[in-house]
Amino acid sequence: MDVAQLRAFLAVAEELHFGRAAERLHIAQPPLSRMIRQLERGVGAQLFDRTTRRVSLTAQGAALVEPARAVLAALDAARLAVRSAGEGEVGTVRISFTGPSTQHLISRLARAVRNRHPGIDLVLQSHTYGAEAVGLILAGRLDLALLMTPGPPPGMAARPMRRGRFVVVLPDSHPLAGRAELAMAELAEEPWVAFPPSAGSVLREEFVRLAADRGFVPRIVQEAPDTWSKIALVASGVGITLNTDLALDAMGRDGIVVVPLADDVEASPTQLVWREADPNPALRRVLALSADLADPAAAAPRDR
């Protein structure tokens, strides 16, 4: 049996009239009759009792009605799935986010995808450092990443989403905790908590470069694997740290004080990055939604 025969069979089974079934299928009656005979030969059973006055289903014909409907429904669903995937309405997009500075954005993007494109499965993965996420994107194991970066890595495209300001995080008992702002040069003798140099953290690189521009090498007394650990070490009095206000906005502040950095320098923006030549249609849908969530000011440094 083939699809055309099943459609012909259902038309006759539902109309119980060859003439009306032929009109419904937009074909002549003789070709319809031939398809029914071919189907009957294929299944090895008579499907209709035909007289000059009426058409009725045999027991075998009645038994075929629901399976035929199920086959055609499955075929239609398969066609719809293929078309929807091609249009990006269904599919999977794997996205990484790094640290507390991206939590607000990732939740807004996930909510937008769920509301606008429920057929897209947005798979969230957390990675501590942006370099790790970039490597996974280039290897084809991720589609998108939200991370702090000055610009798109080679072979990738980027969309600035938010831009934070540098802040100094101090223990609440620190002598400088009451200041309205702090200059980096004032902190040359302070003990620092930082990410390890091997992690490929943009924040670590910008911190070290900022200190060097102010004429000192920071005295790093302890390294920490993530922002939460850094803040916990600061709260315990181990040292101070540099971060952005975006990260601290998403965290509790027990035991710490956050003071804006006075230096006229911008932190790298939080950007959405992806493979420039990625053909995934669902990715294009997610990128279109992300444009509505981007802060226009993130694309250019702020005026201080």
pLDDT value of position 301: 58
Domains 91-163+269-299 and 166-260 share a fold: yes
The answer to whether the CB of 243 falls within 8 A of the CB of 230 is yes
Q: What is the mean pLDDT of residues 278-297?
A: 90
3-class DSSP state for residue 154? coil
DSSP letter (8 states) at residue 161 = E
pLDDT in tens, 120-143: 889 998 877 888 888 899 998 999
pLDDT > 80? residue 91? yes
> Using CA atoms, how far apart are residues 301 and 304, in angstroms rounded to an integer?
9
pLDDT at 38 over 50: yes
Domain 3-86 part of CATH 1.10.10.10: yes
- Write the pLDDT tens digit of every residue in 105-121: 999 999 999 898 888 88
Is the Cα dihedral 250, 254, 255, 259 positive or negative? Answer: positive
Q: Which two tokens stand for residue 250?
A: 């998403």
Q: Which one-letter DSSP state was computed for residue 251? A: S
Q: Are 24 and 11 in contact (CB under 8 A)?
A: yes
**Cα–Cα distance measured from residue 217 to residue 149, given in angstroms and rounded to the nearest whole number:** 23
Q: Which range, 45-59, 104-118, 143-157, 167-181, has the best average confidence (pLDDT)?
A: 167-181
Strands 191-194, 144-148: pairing kind: unpaired
Q: Are 47 and 39 in contact (CB under 8 A)?
A: yes
303 pLDDT above the threshold of 50: no
Alpha-carbon distance 56 to 288, whole Å?
Answer: 55
Confidence class for position 304, pLDDT limits 50, 70, 90: very low
Residue whose entry in the numeric block shows the structure tokens 């990715």: 283
Contact 234, 222 (CB under 8 A): no
- Average confidence (pLDDT) over 261-278: 91
Asked if 158 and 149 count as a contact pair (C-beta separation under 8 A), the reply is yes
- What is the overall mean pLDDT for the chain? 89
166-260 domain in CATH 3.40.190.10?
Answer: yes
Decide if 48 contacts 58 (C-beta within 8 A). yes
When pLDDT is averaged across residues 250-274 and rounded to a whole number, the result is 92
- CATH numeric code, 91-163+269-299: 3.40.190.10
**DSSP letter, residue 123:** E
Q: How far apart are CA 196 and CA 217, in angstroms?
A: 15
Residue the block writes with tokens 């058409």 = 55
CB atoms within 10 A of CB 240: 26
| Percent of the chain with pLDDT strictly greater than 70 | 95
pTM attached to this predicted model: 0.68
Q: What are the residue boundaries of the structural domains of the chain, listed by start?
A: 3-86, 91-163+269-299, 166-260
Tell me what pLDDT residue 291 has.
92
Mean of the pLDDT values across residues 23-33? 92
The mean-pLDDT minimum among 183-197, 214-228, 240-254 falls in 240-254
Q: Are strands 55-57 and 48-50 parallel, antiparallel or unpaired?
A: antiparallel
Beta-carbon contacts of residue 63 (< 8 Å; ≥ 6 apart): none
